[in-house]
Amino acid sequence: MFLETLVDFIIIHKDDLQDWLFVLLTQLLKKMGADLLGSVQAKVQKALDVTRDSFPFDQQFNILMRFIVDQTQTPNLKVKVAILKYIESLARQMDPTDFVNSSETRLAVSRIITWTTEPKSSDVRKRSRVGEDFPTRSTSTCSGPGEGNLEESCKQVD
Domains and CATH numbers, the chain: 1-128 (1.25.10.10)
Point out the least confidently predicted range of 21-35, 74-88, 116-130.
116-130
Higher pLDDT, 158 or 75: 75
DSSP state at residue 138: S
Distance of alpha carbon 82 from alpha carbon 130, whole angstroms: 13
Q: For the whole prediction, is pTM greater than 0.85?
A: no
Dihedral sign, Cα of residue 87, residue 50, residue 57, residue 26: negative
- Put residue 148 in one of left, alpha, beta given phi > 0 → left and psi -120 to 50 → alpha: left
Average pLDDT, the chain: 80
Count of Cβ atoms closer than 10 Å to residue 89 Cβ: 13
Point out the least confidently predicted range of 17-21, 43-47, 154-158.
154-158
Can you give the pLDDT at residue 119? 75
Identity of residue 123: D
Higher pLDDT, 152 or 27: 27
